[in-house]
Amino acid sequence: MRILRLSLTDWRNYRTAEIEFVPGPNVLAGSNGQGKTNLVEAIGYLTTLSSHRVAGDAALIRAGEDSAVVRAVVVAGEREVLAEVLLNRSGPNRAQVNRSAVRPREITRNVSSVLFAPEDLALVRGEPSARRRFLDELLVQRTPRLAGVVADYDRALKQRNGLLRTARAGGDFGTLDIWDERLIATGTELLDARTELAAELEPYVAEQYAVLAGEDQGVALEPLRSIDVDGAGEGSTAERFAAALAVARRRELERGITLVGPHRDDLVLGVNGLPARSHASHGESWSFALALRLGSVELLRRALPTGDPIVILDDVFAELDEKRRTRLAGQVGRYEQVLITAAVEGDIPEALAGRVTHIRAGEIVGEVPA
């Protein structure tokens, strides 16, 4: 897959912008704070319907405006698709594919990308929420229907938490068993999908880590599930989930919140049998974070009929030493399309010296052909 053209209206610091991309490497160059990341963030948004930098959509809309538009022409195989999203400051967002109205979720079926940014260091060193989000976004890219499962689980969780808060205040919790059933039904599918994904992803991540770090170390991705607690019983995922809820019932009523389920889980990242979060050096953490994203690319290019996802490297090379830069360039240079942002063009290895587009203060000021 590759993107031919990106058009923005009132997105971040862009009043309007239009930029074309070519196969292979594409470099977006400019000083920090000029809007390079805002461009690639828009492509990432079309893939996940979320930003890798902020939690909500309001910050993505240009200050003083009520809405923003992201429009992209992408090619997958022989098929060309026009994907558009209208973000509204108030009211629901809207989407179109080839000028026909669709649910926003349908956009993600048509645009596949993997974005690595400095924020991804949190995948290794940060809180479990970052790793849960990483798994769920990759799940939905690989199997789009799971977007509905994630949404249904979140709705059931919200309703159950509301009921627990009501019970904590002395209200009735007679329907809690009903919400337990809905939570278990959706949560079980999500739990099993995450476990399967981690097992499939692990060898790809290990392979990429060995290349980036320059040595073959024991890399592990181990799901840590809150339902697998002492006293929760044995059996299927659904049976263990039900048992874990039963064990936690009294504490949940006391605290007014659901204490077990996919929303409380983690993905433990290990190197040579030790947790990467506490034992990996800064360089090892960067290599692991990159390996997670590149492993995702390898998994998706084999799983999706569209082939290679668009690979986005946002301000990555400035953080790497010369050896890691060269190794990373060798890995990503074989993909159909790579988009790279850089404040210093000299940081980019010569192997990735493709078309260069200069960005200044929310304006596209010039292109240099490859």
| The pLDDT of residue 243 is above 60 | yes
Across residues 20-48, what is the average pLDDT? 95
CATH topology match: 1-112+304-370 vs 122-280 = no
For 47-103, the DSSP string reads HHSS-SS-SSSGGGBPTT-SEEEEEEEEEETTEEEEEEEEEESSS--EEEETTEEE-
- The predicted pLDDT at position 353 comes to 82
Measured at the CA of 157, the angle between CA 41 and CA 175, to 5 degrees, comes to: 160
Strands 113-116 and 79-88, how do they pair? unpaired
pLDDT class of 214 with cuts at 50, 70, 90:
confident
| The pLDDT of residue 231 is above 60 | no
H/E stretch holding 20 reads strand 14-20
- The predicted pLDDT at position 170 comes to 78
- The predicted pLDDT at position 175 comes to 86
- The predicted pLDDT at position 90 comes to 94
pLDDT class of 232 with cuts at 50, 70, 90:
low
Give tens-digit pLDDT for 39-81: 999 999 999 999 999 989 999 999 999 999 999 999 988 899 9
In percent, the amount of the chain with pLDDT more than 90 equals: 85
pLDDT class of 169 with cuts at 50, 70, 90:
confident
| The pLDDT of residue 160 is above 80 | yes
Q: Where along the chain do its domains lie?
A: 1-112+304-370, 122-280
- The predicted pLDDT at position 271 comes to 93
- The predicted pLDDT at position 85 comes to 98
Across residues 310-314, what is the average pLDDT? 97
- The predicted pLDDT at position 369 comes to 63
CA distance 271 to 30: 36
Which option is the CATH number for 1-112+304-370: 3.40.50.880, 3.40.50.300, 1.10.150.20, 1.10.260.40?
Answer: 3.40.50.300
pTM over 0.85, yes/no: yes
pLDDT class of 181 with cuts at 50, 70, 90:
very high
CA distance 33 to 360: 9
| The pLDDT of residue 174 is above 80 | no
Contact partners, residue 189, CB within 8 Å, separation at least 6: 146, 149
| The pLDDT of residue 346 is above 80 | yes
- The predicted pLDDT at position 233 comes to 59
pLDDT class of 306 with cuts at 50, 70, 90:
confident
Across residues 295-316, what is the average pLDDT? 94
In percent, the amount of the chain with pLDDT more than 70 equals: 98
122-280: what fold? Glutathione S-transferase Yfyf (Class Pi); Chain A, domain 2 (1.20.1050)
